[in-house]
Amino acid sequence: MTTDVQDTGKAAPSVNPPDEEPPGASRSERLSTLAQQHGALVTLVVAMVAASLSFDTFLTGDNLENMAVSSAFLAVVALGMTFVIITGGIDLSVGSLFALGGVLAAWGSRYGTAVALLLPLAVCGLIGLVNGVLIARSRLAPFIVTLAAMLGARGLMLAVTDEGSQTYLVDKDTFFATLGQGRLLGIGVPVWITVALFVLGAVVLRRTRFGQYVYAVGGNEDAAALMGAPVARTKIAVYTLSGLCAGLAGALNAAWLVSGVTILGSGMELEAISAVVIGGTLLTGGSGFISGSLVGVLLLKVIQNVINQIGSLDSAYQQVVSGAFLAVVVIAQTWLGRRRRVL
């Protein structure tokens, strides 16, 4: 007697099985969920195997190390972006914030490591906070608010660097420089920091109440509000977090390059969004996971690396490939999503 509801959920054993829900629909659905969640990982493995078979230079310590470190900064940006996208939003300001964070860190490094880290975090976090308030409280569209912030942050960065003419250098002997340049157990410090942040991010997203709110807000904002989730505060928090991540990534990048380079970061928002979406997070919100974004970043970097290895190809191919990738993933997501709505 207690099983009838369960059955209904699985295969709808109604007297007249409607054609759109054949028995086993949920199995194919679970398969498609699996594809959404782990498709990127499988692709990454395939790409890496193919790359290492094709190029002797791919599977070398130097190359892998290089890829890992250069992935680290994008990964940190993508980490914050994952939270934003799960709430159903988007943050286009991260590229500018990344550049701004780098410049501020390089400038602040002369006053010590604490300033070099805290200054970019404070400024970028504040901009993220303003984004969040405008989006959550004034109910403005996320893309336009963060697009404006992108411009504003770029302006701020130019203002700090005498219209881009000034490049601040980081003293190589400081502790701050070690954060970028140093190595631990043969692996660059930025990689360690990134891994730590991802573990922390995953725990926050999966195991804290805040994380649950992030999913709930993105999954069904009205229902979340009715169930008592602090919708506005959650949104403000994720945009602040995204700003913080972008600022920190910029600072680490400055430490790695030992200078605050002003021309970096443009287009990074697109890379980050691509990585997150390729990693299986739905752009419509409510579903996604941190490790997927890491896989997405690595996949983009492997593609980039392969394109670089093919000497004749320009690095611009990477953008074409990731744009096409993004389109394919989004189409697949939309189709999967549509089929689910029918159920």
Partner 1 sequence: MLSVSGLTKTFPGVRALSGVDFTARAGEVHALIGENGAGKSTLIKVLTGVHRPDEGEVTYDGSPVRFATPLQAQHAGISTIYQEVNLVPLMSVARNLFLGREPRGPLGLIDFRRMHREADAALRELGVRVDVRRPLRELGVGVQQMVALARAVSVDARVVIMDEPTSSLEPREVRTLFRVIRMLRERGIAVIYVSHRLDELYEICDAVTVLRDGRVVHTGRMAELERLRLVALMLGREIGEVQGEGLTKFSGGHDAEAEPVLRAEELTVRHELHGVSLSVRPGEVVGLGGLLGSGRSETAKAIAGALPTDSGRVLVAGVPVRPGSTPAAIRAGISLLPEDRKAEGIVPGLSVRENIALAALPGLSRFGLVDEGRIDRIVDTFMKRLRIKAAGPHQKVGELSGGNQQKVLLARWLAMQPKVLLLDEPTRGIDVGAKAEVQKLIDELADDGLGVLLISSDTEELIEGSDRVVVLKDGVVVEELTGDAVTEDRLMRAIATAPAGTGDPDD
Partner 2 sequence: MTELTLGRVTADRDRLLRLLQQYGVYAGVVVLLLANTVFTPHFLSAENFRTQAVQVAPVLIVALGMALAIGSEGVDLSVGSVMALSTSLISLYLGYGPWIAALAAVIGGIVVGCANGALIAFVGVQPIVATLALMVAGRGLALVLLPQLKDVRDPGMAALGSGDVLGVPYLVLIAAALALVVAFVVRRTTFGRQLLAIGDSRPAARLAGLPVRRVLIIVYVCSGALAAIAGVLATARLTASDPTSLGTLMELSAITAVVVGGTPLSGGRVRIGGTVAGAVLIQLLTTTLIKHDLPPSWTQIAQAVVIVLAVYAARERGKR
Instruction: Name the site residues for partner 2 (rule: CB under 8 A).
Output: 90, 134, 138-141, 143-145, 147-152, 154-159, 163, 266-267, 270, 273-274, 283-284, 314, 316-324, 326-327, 330-331, 334-335, 338
Length of the chain counted residue by residue: 343
CB of 292 to partner 2, least distance (A): 17
Choose from partner 2, partner 1, none: what does 324 bind? Cβ within 5-8 Å by kind. partner 2
Q: Find the angle CA(19)-CA(23)-CA(24) to the nearest 5 degrees.
A: 125
| Tokens matching residue 295 | 């896989």
Choose from partner 1, partner 2, none: what does 158 bind? Cβ within 5-8 Å by kind. partner 2
Rounded distance between C-alpha atoms, residue 194 and residue 175, angstroms: 18
Q: What are phi and psi of 287, to 5 degrees?
A: -145, 135
Q: What is the DSSP string of 242-254?
A: HHHHHHHHHHHHH
One of 203, 310, 320, 331 touching partner 1 (CB under 8 A) = 203
CB of 304 to partner 2, least distance (A): 11
One of 209, 311, 315, 316 touching partner 1 (CB under 8 A) = 209
* Residue nearer to partner 1 on the CB measure, 220 or 259: 220
Q: How far is CA 81 from the centre of its chain?
A: 4
* Residue nearer to partner 1 on the CB measure, 172 or 340: 340
Is 4 a binding residue for partner 1 by CB under 8 A? The answer is: yes
Q: What is the DSSP string of 89-138?
A: ---TTHHHHHHHHHHHHHHHGGG-HHHHHHHHHHHHHHHHHHHHHHHHTS
* Residue nearer to partner 1 on the CB measure, 190 or 286: 286
* Residue nearer to partner 1 on the CB measure, 85 or 121: 85
Site for partner 1 in 229-248 (CB under 8 A): 229
Closest to 245 in 3D by CA, of 114, 123, 98: 98
One of 220, 308, 309, 319 touching partner 1 (CB under 8 A) = 220
Size of the site for partner 1 (CB under 8 A): 44
* Residue nearer to partner 2 on the CB measure, 130 or 237: 130
* Residue nearer to partner 2 on the CB measure, 89 or 201: 89
Rounded distance between C-alpha atoms, residue 196 and residue 200, angstroms: 6
Mark residues 148-187: x for contact with partner 1 by CB under 8 A, - for none: ----------------------------------------
Is 8 a binding residue for partner 1 by CB under 8 A? The answer is: yes
Residues 6+ apart with CB under 8 A from 23: 11, 12, 13, 17
Closest to 244 in 3D by CA, of 118, 71, 82: 118
Q: What is the DSSP string of 267-286?
A: THHHHHHHHHHHTT--TTSS
CB of 235 to partner 1, least distance (A): 15
Residues 6+ apart with CB under 8 A from 217: 87, 88, 224, 229, 231, 234, 235, 285
Site for partner 1 in 252-311 (CB under 8 A): 282, 286-287
CB of 92 to partner 2, least distance (A): 9
Choose from partner 1, partner 2, none: what does 138 bind? Cβ within 5-8 Å by kind. partner 2
